């Protein structure tokens, strides 16, 4: 089996896509958000994921988001583009575009709605793998796509030359450890569920992809530093417990994107409401978010 480098590591923010009051993309605010994330110590950025509402954007808008993110990041952190779509040929086109724009990698979930079989899904990923030269991060999120990629299947995908990472978002710790055991250094495992981030990092995950990092970037970066770099588990646990009310609220509320965007506004970075069919958080929901955020001291020492 071949050995693959794991260049990506740390906290990668699943970027929101800021919107104006009329529902159009606010590119200047996106650029400001990207700059803020980089300045707060985030290790990488993932535009056009589920938190970034890729499914609600036109191809032209997707290109604008990628260009703006790349320009604002200015090489300070790697940008891994979400290039998902419903058809393999569209995923290939979006992935090639990301490569041409200079992205460091692409993140790929199972195509949504069509519910491909695992063999069909393998052929899909193989086709994308053969079409580009970028690292691929597999994104397993059956709650969104309707297709569950078990660790054994992901280990099979890891034999493809560009498949180097996985974002595991089921929230099941045994999945994390099984992936590490099956794939070793062939595949870098990222936690994709906020509420198990501490445990995941402690047992060997190389990073954490999170949407709440839009809201609390410094705390996210600090948690990685304490857990992975300094091995200061007591301080890491204290910080994580301060973050947990917010993380649990976001994960369990059924309105992840809506609440992440609302919380960005509460923290001084207004990103507008999601594009319909999703709606803005209510006043009562914002009050819940405010209460949870007060329990997290940003960048706690």
Q: Examine residue 258 and state whether it is found in any structural domain, yes or no.
A: no
Q: Are 258 and 274 in contact (CB under 8 A)?
A: yes
Q: Examine residue 138 and state whether it is found in any structural domain, yes or no.
A: yes
Number of residues assigned to the chain: 301
Q: Are 153 and 118 in contact (CB under 8 A)?
A: yes
Which residue numbers are catalytic? Answer: 139, 167
Q: Are 205 and 187 in contact (CB under 8 A)?
A: no
What does the alpha-carbon distance between residue 129 and residue 9 come to, in Å, rounded to a whole number?
Answer: 21
For residue 208 the two structure tokens come to 């954490």
Considering the entire predicted model, what is its pTM?
A: 0.95
Average pLDDT for consecutive 10-residue bins of the chain (301 residues)? Answer: 61 98 97 98 98 98 98 97 98 98 98 95 98 98 94 98 98 96 94 97 97 97 98 97 95 93 96 96 95 73 40
Q: Are 11 and 207 in contact (CB under 8 A)?
A: yes
Task: Show the CA angle centred on residue 281, arms to residues 278 and 286, nearest 5°.
Answer: 165
Which ranges constitute the DSSP H helices of the chain?
A: 27-39, 59-73, 88-100, 118-131, 142-145, 151-157, 173-183, 197-202, 217-224, 233-252, 256-266, 283-294
Q: Examine residue 129 and state whether it is found in any structural domain, yes or no.
A: yes
pLDDT of amino acid 3: 35
* Helix, strand, coil distribution of the chain in percent, nearest 5: 50, 15, 35
Q: Examine residue 168 and state whether it is found in any structural domain, yes or no.
A: yes
For residue 39 the two structure tokens come to 């300045």
With tokens 């910080």, the residue in question is 239
pLDDT of amino acid 258: 97
Q: Which CATH number does the domain housing residue 161 bear?
A: 3.20.20.70
What does the alpha-carbon distance between residue 224 and residue 227 come to, in Å, rounded to a whole number?
Answer: 5
Q: Are 24 and 58 in contact (CB under 8 A)?
A: no
Q: Examine residue 296 and state whether it is found in any structural domain, yes or no.
A: no
For residue 8 the two structure tokens come to 């990506």
pLDDT of amino acid 297: 59
Q: Examine residue 265 and state whether it is found in any structural domain, yes or no.
A: no
Q: Examine residue 118 and state whether it is found in any structural domain, yes or no.
A: yes
> Sheet of 207-210: strands edge to edge?
44-46, 10-14, 207-210, 188-191, 163-168, 136-140, 105-109, 80-82
Distant-in-sequence, close-in-space partners of 141: CB < 8 Å, separation ≥ 6:
50, 109, 167, 169, 170, 192
**Structural domain tally of the chain?**
1
Q: Examine residue 267 and state whether it is found in any structural domain, yes or no.
A: no
Query: 155: domain range?
Result: 10-233
């Amino acid at each position: 089996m071949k050995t693959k480098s794991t260049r990506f590591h740390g906290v990668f923010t699943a970027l929101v896509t800021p919107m104006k009051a009329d529902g159009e993309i606010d590119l200047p605010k996106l650029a400001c958000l990207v700059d803020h994330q980089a300045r707060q110590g985030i290790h990488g950025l993932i535009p056009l994921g589920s938190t970034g509402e890729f499914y609600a954007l036109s191809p032209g808008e997707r290109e604008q988001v990628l260009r703006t993110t790349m320009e604002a990041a200015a090489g300070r952190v790697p940008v891994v583009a979400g290039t998902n779509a419903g058809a393999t040929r569209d995923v290939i086109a979006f992935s090639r575009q990301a490569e041409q724009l200079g992205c460091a990698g692409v993140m790929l979930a199972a195509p949504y709605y069509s519910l491909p079989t695992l063999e069909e899904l393998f052929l899909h990923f193989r086709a994308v793998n053969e079409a580009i030269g970028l690292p691929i991060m597999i994104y397993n999120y059956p709650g969104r796509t309707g297709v569950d990629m078990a660790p054994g299947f992901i280990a099979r995908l890891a034999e493809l030359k560009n498949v180097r990472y996985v974002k595991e978002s089921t929230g099941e710790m045994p999945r994390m450890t099984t992936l590490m055991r099956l794939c070793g250094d062939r595949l870098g495992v990222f936690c994709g569920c906020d509420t198990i981030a501490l445990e995941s990092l402690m047992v060997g995950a190389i990073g954490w992809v999170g949407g709440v990092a839009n809201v609390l970037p410094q705390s996210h970066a600090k948690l990685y530093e304490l857990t992975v770099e300094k091995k200061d588990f007591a301080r890491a646990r204290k910080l994580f417990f301060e973050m947990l009310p917010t993380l649990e609220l976001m994960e369990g509320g059924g309105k992840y994107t809506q609440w992440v965007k609302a919380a960005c506004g509460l923290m001084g970075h207004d990103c507008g409401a999601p594009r319909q069919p999703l709606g803005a958080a209510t006043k009562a929901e914002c009050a819940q978010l405010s209460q949870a955020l007060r329990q997290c001291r940003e960048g706690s020492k």
